[in-house]
Amino acid sequence: MARLTQADLSDLNESFEERTPLELIHWAQEMFGTRLAALSSMQRAGCVVAHMLSEIKADIPILFVDTGVLFQETLETRDRLVQEYGVNIVTLEPAKTMQEQTEELGVLYLSVEGQEQCCDLRKTQPLIQVAEQYDALIGSLRRADGGQRANVPILAIDPAMNCLRVNILASLSKEEFQNYLEENQVITNPLHRQGYPTIGCNRCTTPVMESEPGRAGRWRHLGPWSQYCGINPTDVAGKHAPSIELPQDLVDRVLGRETDFMI
């Protein structure tokens, strides 16, 4: 095994800045093969990724974490993507129901520390349970969303999953993203049209006024609007300089040490 750090990826990230999302998908397919999956929480960006995979008939599973307390509209969006796009969505679930968790630990999401634990148990841990199956995950984070994501790299280290995140939409502007949604009539979560710019669990997500920041509806009861659930490592401040361990030959190919792969 070989160690791969975020710093190791700096040159590759710079060279990928002009690549299109489809080119990045192609690179990831060639590089990681069957050890590649995508992530989606059934929000706009994740639906765009699902549409792109469908358009090129990419045989890439899409991992979706059903926390057990999602809005019904979110689950229906998942089902529509499967039925209409023909994509393979793999639904992951927490070890315990919300009722079982509450009976054991109380109502966690009523404090900042509890919210972090709740998100870890219900969002992150289900993903970690399948971590050994994948070397890379296609994500949908965009710099245009601002906040912690304003500088998200295209290739990012994910220490918890011990894999590489490939953020294929990172460099899309708001206009480019909206144009893609409209031109391709992408299936999206209907809650986006009902005052929810971002959508999480039904316990901790509320509608947002036009005058408020986009993430004002997430954990509104806990204070600052810049909070994130932690499922995306680049969202969490103060946890940088990460590294992962991958097979030596894979690290060499990713960094172009032995294989000069062009996209």
pLDDT for 211 equals 85
Within-domain flag for 263: no
- What backbone phi and psi angles, to 5 degrees, belong to 2? -130, 145
Instruction: Measure the CA–CA gap between 134 and 260, rounded to whole angstroms.
Output: 23
Beta-carbon neighbour count of residue 114 at 10 Å? 15
Within-domain flag for 180: yes
pLDDT for 196 equals 93
Instruction: Measure the CA–CA gap between 225 and 41, rounded to whole angstroms.
Output: 19
pLDDT for 150 equals 86
Instruction: Measure the CA–CA gap between 94 and 129, rounded to whole angstroms.
Output: 10
* Structural domain boundaries, residue 28: 2-254
Locate 209 and state its tokens: 């006024």
Structural domain tally of the chain?
A: 1
Within-domain flag for 92: yes
Instruction: Measure the CA–CA gap between 188 and 96, rounded to whole angstroms.
Output: 28
pLDDT for 225 equals 47
Within-domain flag for 261: no
pLDDT for 226 equals 45
3-state class (DSSP) for residue 117: helix
Within-domain flag for 161: yes
Q: Is the pTM of this model over 0.85?
A: yes
Counting as low any pLDDT under 70, the low residues of the chain are 224-241, 258-263
pLDDT for 220 equals 84
Within-domain flag for 84: yes
Within-domain flag for 164: yes
Catalytic residues: 229
Within-domain flag for 259: no
Residue 108 belongs to a domain with what CATH number? Answer: 3.40.50.620
